[in-house]
Amino acid sequence: AAPQGPPVYVDLAYLPGSWSARTVDEEFFRRIRSLCYVVSGDDHLKEGVLRPLLDALLTGKHQWGLDIQVTLIPTFDSLVMHEWYQETHERQQELGITVLGSNSTVAMQDETFPACKVEF
């Protein structure tokens, strides 16, 4: 366990992918307070830990006690993400969490992929 300390405030935090995603729990979200969290890693390993990670965001954010808007930016499409979004939408709104979806695409070197722009 990490020593107790004050929370750290950042503008943007990338959440770990693959097996490292298992290390992200409510304590992580209580201590690392970001305006934007990027959920990356479109792989089968991430699907298995995605729901607990998303639930940890709700629990951790609830402990902030501050009215700070948070944006969650998934970089891949996921059935788990869709189900979580639908099942917890009311709670997300109560906590000031917005899940950013994007219909925009970027074309680069004969490849197109979904993208979104984040400004601070």
Full-model pTM: 0.82
CA atoms within 13 A on the CB side of 9: 6
pLDDT of residue 119: 67
The mean of the pLDDT values for the chain is 85
Q: For 39-86, write each residue's pLDDT tens digit.
A: 876 666 566 788 899 999 999 999 998 789 999 988 877 888 889 999
Strand 105-108 and strand 111-114: pairing? antiparallel
Q: For 2-53, write each residue's pLDDT tens digit.
A: 667 899 999 999 988 666 777 889 999 999 999 999 987 666 656 678 889 9
pLDDT of residue 1: 56
